Structure 1
Amino acid sequence: MSENNKKRAVIILSGGLDSTTCMGLAQEAGYDLFPISFDYGQRHKIEIENAKQVAEHYGVSARHKIIKLDFLRDFGGSALTDDTIDVPNVVNGPESEEIPVTYVPGRNLLFLSIATSYAEVTGSQAIYIGVNALDYSGYPDCRPEFIHKVEEVIALATKVGVEGKGITIETPLISWSKAKIVEEGLKIGVPYELTTSCYNGKAEACGECDSCRLRLKGFEEAGSKDPIAYL
């Protein structure tokens, strides 16, 4: 397939394990990659630098868009955007009905809306997002129902949707355990050494926050060693 005719995908790239796995999977699926990252005042802003490295690894730095959404920190309401709320060290299990304090109100809705604009402009047929309904039980914007509804809105609210071409939202990780994500990523050479998952935003991951714990558990269950540095 020629470069001009190659199918295209926007990848919502945080610089973390899940979104970077999505980059690898989209490439494996034959898509030309158009990554987009968001600086929303998150306390782990260091992940933006990781996203840049991942984009460079895949040879698409020139297409990598970094969008500032400073108002999410102004709003607060999440341990990731409000310094008065502590990052928890307890992982909510799949049976938990409590929405974690690391949930950022409206984040994925905003991300997908902006990614849709980038997809239309670039002629992309898909948007990849690394949402996971299994390990992150309780995040309302990680559920399949949410994704399906946003797809319906995209079909109604975009030029490509009205013309019948459409943009799909690809969520390959949505029902995978963290171990399966790691296993599948390692098979296709995902550069996990360039990623971070820590919510505390230090040069070395804390190993204690819920995101670090889930990541470490995933590598352990996958029978592999996490290549990043921990305190």
Structure 2
Amino acid sequence: MSEKAVVIYSGGMDSYTVLHKALREGFDVHALSFHYGQRHARELDIARHVCQTLNIAHQVVDIRAIHSLIGASALTDDTQAMPRADYAEDNMKATVVPNRNMILLSLAIGHAVNMESSICYYGAHGGDHAIYPDCRPEFVDRMNAVAAIANYTPVEIRAPYLYASKADILAEGLAMGLDYAQTWTCYLGGEKACGECGSCRERLNAFAEHGVEDPLSYVHRTPHSQSGV
């Protein structure tokens, strides 16, 4: 039997690539998605569809009960304006959800122990370091140290793209033949991606860097992306 691995799977580009990386490495993947009150909860529908198509175990865990504790973010509070600019530390702090990855990793590690798995994947990547404290290498290192002693069975946290850019991740996914139409990146949950938030811009720039058209439909495309819808 294949070794089990838990994958924190949001439905976005990075975790979609991580999910397929874990599958290609031969793991029996158990995907976990979390509803924490994010405005872009549409990503969860994408995650469900992908896991059904791949016929892999998947749970969407509703943790919206903690929204009042960590809801002071533009990602979870629709009364706040969503920054519409390229990622930068001074204008994207509004999208930080306090302690999000520590919370999600803690739950995923508990799930891994419960199902007798010793591996937990998540999709932190290099472009997030300056903006999101819980995507920094030192955070992953310390969480790994805690995960090794928090239970009788140690769990290893793997973040394979911790030092990779969005373009690097896309390059590996394209080499695997992945269909990025099966992902959702926009921080707004509209019918089409907005094309203006930092997440959309970073994604579009990654596709433009590779000379490939992003298969998603957008309301607006950034100046650095290819034209078209």
**Residue number among 161, 173, 184 corresponding to 2:172 in the alignment:** 184
* Corresponding residue of 2:223: none
Rounded to whole Å, the distance in 2 between the matches of 1:169 and 1:41 is 25
C-alpha distance in structure 2 between counterparts of 1:41 and 1:125, whole Å: 29
Deviation for aligned residue 1:121: 1.9
Is it true that 1:92 corresponds to 2:87 in the alignment? yes
Q: Which residue of 1 aligns with 2:209?
A: 221
Instruction: Tell me: CA distance 1:59–1:225, structure 2 relative to 1, closer, same or farther (3 Å).
Output: same
- Aligned-residue offset at 1:135: 4.5
8 Å Cα contact 1:98/1:138 also seen in 2: no
Residue 108 of structure 1 corresponds to: 101
- Selected match of 1:24 from 17, 20, 23: 20
After TM superposition, where is structure 1 displaced by more than 6 Å over at least 4 residues in a row? none
What stretches of structure 2 of length at least 5 have no aligned partner? 220-229
Question: Which amino acid is 2:52 matched to?
Answer: E
For 2:213 and 2:92, how far apart are their aligned partners in 1?
30
Distance in 1 separating the partners of 2:188 and 2:58: 24
Is 1:65 matched up with 2:59? yes
Name 1:126's counterpart in structure 2: 119
Q: Deviations over 1:147-197 (max 9, x none)?
A: 111111111111212xxxxx2111111111111111100111223111110
Alignment partners' CA distance in 2, 1:212 and 1:24: 22
Deviations for 1:105-125, whole angstroms, at most 9, x for unmatched residues?
011001000000111122222
Within-5 A mapping of 1:68-79: 68-75=62-69, 76-79=71-74
Counterparts of 1:123 and 1:201, CA distance in 2 = 35
* Alignment map for 1:140-159 (pairs within 5 Å): 140-159=133-152
**Aligned to 2:138, what secondary structure does the other structure show?**
helix
TM-score w.r.t. the length of structure 1 is 0.89
Q: Between the two proteins, what is the percent identity of the paired residues?
A: 40
Unaligned runs of 5+ in 1: 162-166
Range with greater deviation from structure 2 (9-18 or 68-77): 68-77
How far apart, in 2, do the equivalents of 1:49 and 1:36 lie? 13
User: Compared with structure 1, are the counterparts of its residues 112 and 8 closer, same or farther at alpha carbon in structure 2 (3 Å cutoff)?
Assistant: same
State the distance in 2 between where 1:155 and 1:213 align: 37
Q: Does 1:81 align with 2:76?
A: yes
